[in-house]
Amino acid sequence: MKIRGWILAVIVLAAGAGAAVTCMGRNKERAGAVSGIPETDIAGKVSLPSEQEVIIEKMSLREKAAQLFIVTPEALTGGAALTSVDSALVSAYSDCPAGGFILMQGNIETPEQVKGFNEDLLEMSRERTGLIPFLSVDEEGGTVARIASDPDFPVEDVGDMCEIGKTEDLSKAYQAGACIGGYLREYGFNVDFAPDADVWSNEANTVVRYRAFSSDPSIAAEMTAAETEGLMGEGIWPVLKHFPGHGNTTEDSHDGFAYSEKTLEELRQCEFLPFEAGIRAGSPFVMVGHISLPEVTGDDLPASLSKTIITELLRGELEFDGVVVTDAMNMGAVAEHYSSAEAAVMAVQAGADMILMPADFEAAYNGILQAVQEGQITEERLDRSVERILDLKLKEE
């Protein structure tokens, strides 16, 4: 389906009707960069801005804030689950060009529909921003498979990762990633919220029991790296989850607080190992879970909102400089204790780059805008996250 003409028409009409959109081409002065003279390094050489910096310089605050969100398409329109791009979505996206979309079960019908939907979402984003969107799905295999669990899709379900882990055969983990990556790419996705890099270290844990590769951190680490490579080999960006490890909890963070009583040293010897392996294998994303670690942080604050966990440990100790995305913010561990605006602001302040599925997208988005306007988040901090996001998107162009 070709939609380029009417997408552009809707965008133009929306802007003409006074929609709150700032044109990508409008230059905006930034503090410290108003002279127009290129900066020089210590040796006196001219330091030219990167492609990301050039794009960011032209983006409005609203456009930058919007890049921080991965949402379902209907989160923009406020209606029922969407299965195609319509004029309402184009108009809403013109107002707020989110950085990415995630398709859930209600957005998925047939192979042709999903492929066409993703193609149109891609075209809509390029028309509005000049950038690709992240087009994502939860496709781990086995118990979590939006595509392979649907009988209308002629694809293989690779099965639960725990069964692959039992074989201790790294080629099977690689092939699982390659299989999933192959069909996701065919259907137009570019991001998969997999692999599960948790270590199933608590037998009472039912959340990741079948999704994690192993209770042995070394096996889980090797398998995580292999699946990461398999996904990336097919052109799909993997997302390691759920840092700093969901395998030792007994609670389900979908319902409320999930606790791990492990100390930092225990995490280093177990839970961190698969994430370190996945990062070394090249994963550009890490998802931070809503897991409370009182022995590490001294409080009940979920990891997804904790500067200690994201900035000090994931960024600092594990030296991860890719895109940090939160787990879905409509889950009980966050949504029952914080407003969407509060949670979004706290996540960015903690060091997250992208916010997945806030309970109230409009409130979360406006919360980020207000926090920047009031100085709770500096625009330079916002720019750093946008730069990481653009770094990935420009690699795909």
Q: Which residues are catalytic?
A: 254, 327
Burial of 38 (0-12, 13-18, 19+ CB in 10 A): exposed
Give me the torsion for CA of 153, 156, 157, 158, rounded to 10°. Answer: -150
Residue 291 gets the label, from left (phi > 0), alpha (psi -120 to 50) or beta, of: beta
Query: What is the phi/psi pair of residue 323, to 5°?
Result: -90, 120
Answer positive or negative: Cα dihedral of 10, 12, 16, 21.
Answer: positive
Q: Which residue has the tokens 């293989």?
A: 156
Return the structure tokens found at 75.
């989160």
CA distance 295 to 278: 25
DSSP 303: G
Closest CA to 239 of 154, 175, 177, 292: 177
Which residue, 197, 206, 243, is CA-closest to 224?
197
Cα gap 81→376, rounded to integer Å: 34
* Residue-by-residue DSSP string for 206-268: -SSTTTSS-SSHHHHHHHHHHHHHHHHHTT-EEEEEEET-STT-SS-TTTS-EE----HHHHH
Q: If we measure between CA atoms, which residue out of 264, 369, 245, 261 comes closest to residue 316?
A: 264
Candidates 238, 220, 221; CA nearest to 229 is 238
Give helix 272-280 / helix 217-233 axis angle, nearest 10°: 30
Which region holds residue 6: left if phi is over 0, alpha if psi is between -120 and 50, else beta? alpha
